[in-house]
Copies of this chain bind each other. A is one copy, B any other.
Amino acid sequence: MVRRRQAVTIKHVAADAGVSLQTVSRVINQEPNVRASMRERVQASIDKLGYVPSIAAQRMSGSRSYLILALNDRERTIADWRAREGTDWVDQMLMGGMLECAKHGYRLIFELVDTHSDHVERELQGCIAALQPDGVILTPPHSDNPLITDLLRRQNIPFAQIGSTGEAGGISLIMGDEGAARTATRHLIDLGHQRIGFIKGAAEYKLSDWREAGWKAEMADAGLGFDGLCAAGDFSYRSGVDAAQKLLALRPRPTAIIASSDHMALATVDVARKMGMQVPRDLSVVSFDNTPMTMLTRPALTAIDQPVAATTALAVERIVAAKRGDALPEGPTIVPAGLIVRESTAPPAK
């Protein structure tokens, strides 16, 4: 293996511009105390030589690494990838995160960690030691894992907690789950529905509670009852079948169901169909997440769109701001979710 060196280094630029290394460094890092004329001269050399700083060297000398780590749950992510059902959480995250990183001269590194394992700490520690990221983006369900958040805080690394209210001290970003559930419920009420069932997500995720709370609140505001209309699920198709069967066995039967995941919504449609009902004629269904399957299935599902890309982009923005020392807003930031109306919702049958 040939030893490979940096083609153009700060030295070349310094020599070319006839200045010291330090001055070039100041220009690169946009620091003050450089005369405009000097700055221009150095910049000209940089452009001429096509110089790009080595992040390894930058990191070495104790400054930034320009790397932001996006952490996802290994088990769940790999399961999604293997299932090949089109779940595009990762893709949306990359889209939002990478594009925002590019704007600021950072790079996003996507990593998987075993949230449930005892050695999360060891794994994460290793990842941090190896990469020395300038910031970390945490996603559910490990946004609130104290083993992770404590470690990050100890190491003084800024981190964003997506889907968490940020008690652990990170930057809190929430995808408007409660409001989204209210929107979905409102949509159904506006169509004329009164008995609206709800299938809850996995208890491990805080957003499961938020969504349930939103549904209840909107029902209450409309003077509608919701006792017995909530069934537990865990986001999976299998759990959706059970929950839908439970809800559709009720008398009077709900005329609409909100499912906390696309898989559970799909399951609800299938169960209804098996019972001889048609969607949306006999049952309206609203889905959560808006992964590609909602538009590929028939009827296409009306769904709450989780703003994954926007949220990840915001996480990057906030981390970069934190590195700059900018003041960050207090408390959680809510990124609003949208409702995409498709074919699975309609007024209830008379």
Asked if residues A60 and B62 are in contact (CB atoms below 8 Å), the reply is no
Measured CB to CB, the nearest residue on chain B to A157 is B4
Interface residue A335 (Cβ < 8 Å from any Cβ of B): no
Asked if residues B85 and A296 are in contact (CB atoms below 8 Å), the reply is yes
Residue from the set A56, A80, A85 with the largest chain B CB neighbour count within 10 Å: A56
Can you list, as one digit per residue, whether each of A55-82 has a CB less than 8 Å from chain B (1) or not (0)? Answer: 1110110100110000000000010111
Interface residue A3 (Cβ < 8 Å from any Cβ of B): yes
Given pairs A55-B56, A80-B91, 19 additional interface contacts (CB within 8 A): A1-B325, A3-B62, A6-B132, A7-B129, A52-B126, A52-B129, A54-B132, A55-B130, A56-B59, A56-B60, A81-B88, A81-B91, A82-B95, A84-B292, A86-B296, A90-B90, A90-B94, A296-B296, A296-B297
Known contacts being A6-B129, A323-B1, A325-B1, is A78 close to B52, with CB within 8 Å?
no
Measured CB to CB, the nearest residue on chain B to A158 is B1
Query: Which of B51, B53, B99, B109 has a CB less than 8 Å from the CB of A109?
Result: B109
Stoichiometry (number of copies) = 2
Can you report 29 residue pairs joining A to B where beta carbons are below 8 Å apart?
A7-B155, A50-B126, A51-B129, A52-B125, A52-B129, A53-B130, A54-B129, A54-B132, A55-B130, A56-B56, A56-B65, A56-B132, A57-B60, A81-B92, A81-B94, A84-B292, A85-B292, A85-B296, A86-B88, A86-B291, A88-B88, A88-B91, A91-B91, A107-B109, A107-B130, A110-B110, A292-B292, A292-B293, A298-B298
Residues of B within 8 A of A155 (CB): 4, 7
Residues of B within 8 A of A1 (CB): 323, 325
Asked if residues B88 and A107 are in contact (CB atoms below 8 Å), the reply is no
User: Residues of A within 8 Å of B, CB-based: how many?
Assistant: 62
Interface residue A112 (Cβ < 8 Å from any Cβ of B): yes
Residues of B within 8 A of A275 (CB): none
A293 to B94, CA, bound (A): 21
Residues of B within 8 A of A65 (CB): 56
Interface residue A122 (Cβ < 8 Å from any Cβ of B): yes
Can you list, as one digit per residue, whether each of A295-306 has a CB less than 8 Å from chain B (1) or not (0)? Answer: 111100000000
Query: Which of B50, B86, B131 has a CB less than 8 Å from the CB of A107?
Result: B131
Measured CB to CB, the nearest residue on chain B to A81 is B95
